[in-house]
Structure 1
Amino acid sequence: MKVTLEKIRPDKKEVLRNLYSLYLHDLSAYTDGLQISKDGSFEFDSFSLIWEKEGITPYFIKVDEKLAGFVLILEAPFTKKVDKVINDFFVLNAFRGKGVSKAAVSEIFAHNKGRYYISQLVKNETAVHFWKNIYKQMEIDFVEQPEVQDGEEVVYQTFTVIKMPGIALERERR
């Protein structure tokens, strides 16, 4: 199993829009702040900014060339005290629990050095646990803080990636 990141071109934005609806649907289990729209989808209200503003980079997560999810990374001017923010990270259910998420994070860190900020909704215990496992497996020292963002309790971590942290995650499975 080969996990890769592919920068999303503007001509693939509808694919990303569809994935975002699935991602926001998943997040709606942990917040009252996300509601389904009249057309039956969950919408990211700032979606158009992805291709209009500098400092926003979307990637598809692919497994053996198959679409498996996406990640949205923010940089300056959206970041102030850090270099990178993993703003959104989503893997389709069919690929969860198979090492895809860990391999995708490994790819992100291998190609994007710097100081990071990652936050999770406190109620999303699965995401909080996932990121803490990543830090432990990759031997990343992080600082964690609670915060309220848009009326939601979140926990966020900051840390620095200067080289591929800790153990190399397996990128191919047989």
Structure 2
Amino acid sequence: MKIEVRLTDKADAYIIKNMYPLYLHDLSGHYGLIPGHTPNKHGIFEDGDHYITLNDQYDVQNIWWEHSKSLYPYLITADDRPAGFALIATPPYCSQGVDYFVSDFFILQPFRGNGVAEYAIRTIFERFTGKWEVFTNPSQRNVIGQKFWRRTVSHYTKGNYEEGLGSTFDGEKLIFKFSNSSL
């Protein structure tokens, strides 16, 4: 399988935007009936009932293509088909003392379990040198995600990373921190 990871621009932003509702639906399975992780009255996975169509939701994501010096929207393809995306943030869109933050990472179901996800995120880690941070949901509903990040970060850093529960702008999370400056 040929896997590619490429930075997108406004011309192909629609591909990530098309997958984004699937990502939010996928996340809802990790959170259950927690407000903000269920659809609004119009069936859109966004806070607030003012999002009536998926087109309304598209505008929320435009920030990723408006700040090209600090936000990096990557499209992941497998055999020239969209397989997922990674949204990487830098200051001021991440925690103090962090250079790079994996804001969102998603692989479509047909491409899971065959190395696409790990190859893609390792490729992105290699593109940026510095202090990294990754959050994931710490609940039992997200054991697969926790195992993925633990295994991937551990392999990438050869075990040289920090892991712990912590409070974030998005609530309590399992947080992975590492630096690839000396790897």
Task: Please indicate, yes or no, whether the TM-score normalized by the shorter chain is above 0.5.
Answer: yes
Cα distance, 1:39 vs structure 2: 4.2
Matched residue SS, 1:154: strand
Q: Which residue does 1:69 correspond to in 2?
A: 84
Aligned pairs for 1:132-143 (under 5 A) are: 132-138=150-156, 139-143=158-162
- Structure 1 runs not aligned, ≥5 long: 166-174
Q: Tell me, in whole angstroms, the C-alpha distance in 1 between the residues paired with 2:63 and 2:147.
A: 30
The equivalent position to 1:86 in structure 2, one of 75, 87, 102, is 102
Whether 1:121 and 2:137 are equivalent positions in the alignment is: yes
Structure 1 vs Structure 2: percent identity of aligned residues? 30
After superposition, the Cα gap between the structure-2 partners of 1:125 and 1:5, relative to the gap in structure 1 and judged at 3 Å, is: same
Confirm or deny: 8 A CA contact 2:24 2:45 kept in the other structure: yes
Q: Which moved more, 1:31-40 or 1:89-98?
A: 31-40
Q: Note if contact 2:15-2:82 (Cα within 8 Å) is conserved in structure 1.
A: no
Question: Cα deviation per residue 1:104-151 (whole Å; 9 max; x = unaligned)?
Answer: 022112212211000001122211110111123221411122123457
Distance 2:152 2:7 in 1: 23
Paired residue type of 1:68? A
Asked whether the equivalents of residues 121 and 152 of structure 1 are also in contact (C-alpha less than 8 Å), the reply is: no
User: Closer, same or farther in 2 for the Cα pair 1:77/1:126, shift >3 Å?
Assistant: same
More helix by share: 2
Uncovered stretches (5+) of structure 2, i.e. residues with no partner: 47-56
- Aligned residues between the structures: 164
Give TM-score, length-normalised by structure 1.
0.84
Whole-angstrom CA distance in 1 between matches of 2:74 and 2:122: 14
SS at match of 1:81: coil
Question: How does 1:1-174 map onto structure 2 within 5 Å?
Answer: 1-31=1-31, 32=34, 33-43=36-46, 46-53=60-67, 54-79=69-94, 80-123=96-139, 124-138=142-156, 139-149=158-168, 152-162=171-181
Q: Which amino acid aligns with 1:155?
A: L
Q: TM-score, normalising length from structure 2?
A: 0.80
